């Protein structure tokens, strides 16, 4: 027994530490909905598994339609019943309108309708989308454009059928949708049904952006580690959005070039004399709108 006395402090101190940590966790959980007991450090991350939606449904059957989960260092509240969802999304929608921004999205969140907080810039971009893109009179005005794109799609498929060539349904559907959006915003097609490389490359780019945005990121669960970008997702997303902006910058430059060539427009072209950073934000505003529709909706 005497031989164990020197080791006793090394046993007591960790036990006391975890005991105090447990008490602190219970204090922090006061006022929160019921939920599974979190483990040290990882919380309830181990309960999500490879199918989080099914895991959350299973946990809701045990802890109720309103439960709290600690995912790493982040405490979340999960709503899984229609009545509770209406309470959050209808009665208190303004309070819960702001969504958590993923670390990988980074600087893009400052100019995207999907990620901006409930603030003046979000309301401004939302107003642009509501009045210039999705208003009933705008949709009615674009009916002829939609019919034209459907005819182009049908003619393209018919031509391939006559030639006995295979039809890449995913690519042609994506190209048609992309051109509908770009014609609405820029009044021009970004690509064409016959341009296999252009539309396919853009489709792959959008798919990569969605893949990175949907990847589990340790920085989201442990914000203290976000500066290190351990998985490199923020750097990868920045490169992807740089490529996306390059595509749309080309369209903006072409439109500005055509406007400058018009008589009397060169000297008074809008945007002249602006600071470079403000000009960049201004020209990326339509990109933010189109990118939000393309990538996040």
pLDDT, tens only, 61-75 = 999 999 999 999 899
Distance of CA 227 to the CA centre of its chain: 20
What is the CA angle 183-189-195, rounded to 5? Answer: 155
Q: What is the tens place of the pLDDT at every residue in 174-219?
A: 888 888 887 877 777 877 888 765 666 777 888 888 889 888 999 9
Say whether pLDDT at 236 is over 90. yes
SS3 79: strand
- Tell me which residue of 77, 125, 48, 103 sits closest to 284, measured CA to CA: 125
How far is 111 from 284, CA to CA, in rounded Å?
8
- Per-residue pLDDT tens over the stretch 77-112: 999 889 888 988 888 887 887 778 888 887 777 777
User: Contact at 8 Å (CB) between 115 and 108?
Assistant: yes
67 strand-pairing partners: 78
Which sequence spans correspond to the domains of the chain? 2-100, 120-296
Q: What 3-state DSSP class applies to 242?
A: helix
CA nearest to 86, candidates 60, 66, 71: 66
The structure tokens listed for 223 are 């914000």
Is pTM beyond 0.75? Reply is no
Range with the poorest average pLDDT among 28-32, 34-38, 145-149? 28-32
């Amino acid at each position: 027994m005497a031989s164990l006395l020197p080791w006793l402090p090394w046993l007591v101190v960790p036990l006391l530490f975890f005991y105090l940590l447990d008490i602190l966790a219970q204090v922090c959980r006061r006022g929160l909905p019921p939920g599974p007991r979190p483990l040290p450090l990882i919380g309830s991350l181990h309960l999500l598994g490879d199918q989080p939606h099914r895991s959350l449904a299973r946990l809701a059957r045990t802890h109720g339609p309103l439960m709290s989960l600690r995912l790493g260092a982040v405490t979340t509240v999960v709503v899984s019943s229609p009545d509770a969802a209406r309470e959050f999304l209808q009665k208190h929608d303004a309070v819960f309108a702001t969504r958590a921004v993923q670390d990988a999205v980074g600087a893009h969140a400052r100019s995207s309708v999907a990620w901006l907080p409930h603030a003046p810039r979000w309301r401004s971009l939302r107003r642009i989308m509501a009045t210039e893109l999705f208003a009933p009179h705008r949709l009615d005005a674009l009916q002829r454009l939609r019919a034209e794109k459907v005819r182009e799609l049908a003619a393209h498929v018919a031509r391939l059928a006559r030639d006995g060539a295979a039809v890449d349904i995913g690519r042609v559907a994506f190209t048609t949708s992309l051109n509908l959006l770009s014609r609405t915003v820029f009044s021009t097609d970004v690509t064409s049904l016959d341009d296999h490389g252009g539309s396919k490359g853009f489709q792959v780019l959008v798919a990569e952006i969605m893949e990175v945005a949907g990847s589990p990121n340790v920085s989201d669960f442990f914000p203290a580690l976000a500066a290190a970008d351990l998985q490199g997702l923020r750097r990868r997303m920045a490169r992807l959005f740089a490529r996306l902006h390059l595509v749309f910058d080309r369209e903006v430059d072409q439109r500005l070039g055509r406007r400058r060539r018009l008589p009397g427009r060169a000297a008074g072209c809008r945007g002249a004399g602006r600071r470079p950073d403000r000009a960049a934000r201004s020209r990326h505003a339509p990109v933010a709108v189109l990118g939000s529709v393309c990538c996040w909706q």
